[in-house]
Chains A and B, each alone.
Chain A
Amino acid sequence: MKIAIVGMGLLGRLVALECLRQTGLDEELTIDCYNSQPPIENESIRHTQSVGRLAAGLLGPYTESWHFDEQTFEEAKLAISYWEALSEWLNAPKMFNSKGCLVACHVNDPGALPLFKQRMQGADQFSLLTKNELLKLEPSLCSFNGHLGLLSHEAQIKIPIFYRTSTDRLLNDSQVKWISKTVTAKDFSHLSKAYDWIIDCRGFAAKEHLKDLRGIRGDLIQMWAPDVKLSRPVRFLHPKHPIYIVPIGSQNYVIGTTEIESEDIEPIRARNLMDLLHTAYALHPAFAEARVQSIHHGLRPTLPSGKPDILDEGNRITANGLYRHGYLLGPGIAQQIVGMMGMNASKKAFFKPNTFKACETPH
């Protein structure tokens, strides 16, 4: 079977890895990975065009559950065991952090916590921490002026490790070829003749193909903060944006992300930057002394439902609309795509293929 995957962001990688994982050493399988950038650039947070590389990597089905209907919430929960298994398969145990997620609410915003709890699904999983519990879990936050709670069943993917190890895994496989080439709309008719399957995972770049797709901008900063000692992500309840402060290793943190209904790709606005920095500082004063390493922005590909969808067009399968939930919902989409290509998705799947509906008619 000859497969072309177009776009090697998060979803493209997941599809490629899932193909390899499910077919084992099937010598008939070849996967050509088309991407506008070479692998090293695509891994680098400074140069990447993959919005998945610019995410915080939080596996937060509960914190994000306000966005989900009940079925999607159940599927999002399954992603945690998927990523745990994938990190073992990639032999990258440090990629997966299962220490849970803290939720922080500043003392000046007392209404935020009840609202957060009311809208979340599975609110019984959330518990406020006492000072003693906090001292054991995250001692550097003991001076935080507000309330902190824990969602112990959430986890985190360390994105730099995932991108690095998945690139290594793909490049070291003789069945996989990385082709640094920008695939345009015209190229697809040629590809459909040359391959058995073409998997279109271009994210926002597929806008010309999906009329309902829009970009929602997110800004993110990366900081080196040696005096901040966090071991798990923190979701800060901020009135304007859902902001996360996430340790990514080597005393580095990502602080993101804004959420703006705009496809603007200009540099970050000062006000949004101030929101991110101010939130980090409100959580821990040592962020004032941190070094800003880099500032990034990306456009989250979003469909009106806020959920991803799959478009089945002959031997071309287009998957898109992961919005801010690529790490939660991407695995289910990847497994469904592999199932659609006739591979035995249930035999070796980390979890049961989900039931996202494929579009019945082309957009």
Chain B
Amino acid sequence: MGPSAPDSWNLYDTPMTSRLWMGSSHFPNWNVFASACELAKPGFITLSLRRQTATGGQSYWKLIRSLDIPILPNTAGCFSAHEAIQLAEISRDTFETDWIKVEVIADEQSLHPEGPELIRACEVLIQKGFKVLPYCSDDLSICKALTDVGCRALMPLGAPIGTGLGLLNPFNLERLRYRFPKIPLILDAGLGKPSQATQVMEMGFDAVLLNTAISQSVNPAEMALAFLEAVSAGHRAFKAVPMPAQPNAQPSTPSMDMPIGDYRVGAELYGN
């Protein structure tokens, strides 16, 4: 593939081009968020729905829709499968989309995903025809169970939501890529810097979802652009296949015919 060839990927049989998705919370104001979207051109905008926003959020959704970027509703703040399923159904009616990012939280302080309840929620929602994207831990057994119930993509975390700590366990993430070569992997949560997005894309992840890293920066629009470029760099590097690390130095310029170099080596050897 040439450097400028189109590079699409598939998610639930839907062709995707962008590899950067964005959350919509905690921006200083709407215009800042819209500018960030304009620069980053995210593949999805995630949006959380609660009962309260379901009844009065129309003005805000109208603004979101005006960006003409697909909406990915999520079930943020749910602590059980029952809650998540209920919220997903309200979201489908409200936003007229089958896409759902399923979040079921185990612990309010760390916002760590709950395993069994998440799996149960995903199983039910897949049966109901949703295109399910589970926010999950990087635990192989949980990820395997999610794919077993029919999830055709995974969204493992890099670090707890909103921390900006980066990839706390790159080994686990690399193993997920190795063990699920055909399943789209979207890193969700925990990134703070663009270099961390590059790192996970170099592993072969398919996309990155960000919110806090952009919205809480001093200049969100500029940071969105930085992440876009970082994601692109990491993905290109993955496709280009980085060289394996070597224990010994390898001269990048041939030195066979360099007499001065030979002379110095000889001088050191013989003490002249």
Chain A residues within CB distance 8 Å of chain B:
66-67, 108, 111, 115, 118-119, 213-215, 217, 239, 260-266, 269, 302, 304-307
Contacts and interface: CB of A to CB of B under 8 A. Distances in A.
B261 interface: no
Contacts of B181: none
Given A108-B109, A214-B60, A239-B162, A264 B28 contact: no
B123 to A, nearest CB: 27
Contact of B29 (A67, A108, A265, A269): A67
Nearest to A269: B52
Contact of A304 (B31, B55, B163): B31
A306 B31 contact: yes
Contact of B60 (A108, A262, A306, A307): A262
Interface residues of B, number: 21
B60 A261 contact: yes
Nearest to A69: B28
Contacts of B58: 263
B164 to A, nearest CB: 8
A337 B31 CA distance: 25
A66 B60 CA distance: 21
B59 interface: yes
Nearest to A207: B59
A108 B107 CA distance: 14
Contacts of A302: 30
Contacts of A264: 52-53, 55-57
18 contacts: A115-B216, A119-B218, A214-B60, A261-B53, A262-B53, A263-B56, A263-B58, A264-B52, A264-B55, A264-B56, A264-B57, A302-B30, A304-B29, A304-B30, A304-B34, A305-B29, A306-B29, A306-B31
Contacts of B51: 269
Contact of B28 (A239, A261, A306): A306
Interface string B138-181: 00000000000000000000000011000000000000000000
Nearest to A214: B59
B63 interface: yes
Interface string B34-63: 100000000000000011110111111001
B216 A119 contact: yes
Given A119-B218, A263-B59, A305 B162 contact: no
Contacts of A66: 28
B222 to A, nearest CB: 14
Contacts of A118: 218
Given A115-B216, A119-B216, A304-B34, A215 B59 contact: yes
Contacts of B53: 260-262, 264
A261 to B, nearest CB: 4
A214 B63 contact: yes
Chain A at the B interface: SS class: loop
Contact of B31 (A119, A239, A263, A305): A305
Nearest to A66: B28
B52 A260 contact: yes
A217 B52 CA distance: 10
B109 A67 contact: no
Contacts, number: 58
Contacts of B29: 67, 304-307
A108 B57 CA distance: 32
A305 B28 CA distance: 9
A115 B192 CA distance: 12
A210 to B, nearest CB: 11
B59 to A, nearest CB: 4
Given A262-B55, A262-B60, A269-B52, 13 more contacts: A67-B28, A213-B59, A239-B162, A260-B52, A261-B53, A261-B57, A261-B60, A264-B56, A264-B57, A269-B51, A304-B63, A305-B29, A306-B31
Given A115-B216, A118-B218, A269-B51, A306 B56 contact: no
A302 B109 CA distance: 31
Contacts of A217: 52, 56
Nearest to A265: B56
Nearest to A263: B56
A304 B216 CA distance: 18
Contacts of A111: 163
Given A108-B109, A111-B163, A305 B56 contact: no
- Please provide the 9 A-B residue pairs with the shortest distance between their CB atoms, ordered closest to farther: A306-B29, A264-B56, A214-B59, A262-B56, A263-B56, A304-B30, A261-B60, A262-B53, A264-B55
A111 B159 CA distance: 15
A215 B56 CA distance: 9
Contacts of A307: 29
Nearest to A67: B28
A278 B162 CA distance: 21
A262 B56 CA distance: 5
A265 B55 CA distance: 9
A304 B55 CA distance: 21
Contacts of A263: 56-59
Given A108-B109, A262-B53, A305 B60 contact: no
A305 B29 CA distance: 6
Contacts of A262: 52-53, 55-57, 60
Contacts of A213: 59
A63 to B, nearest CB: 13
Nearest to A212: B63
Nearest to A261: B60
Nearest to B56: A264
B15 to A, nearest CB: 31
Contacts of B57: 261-264
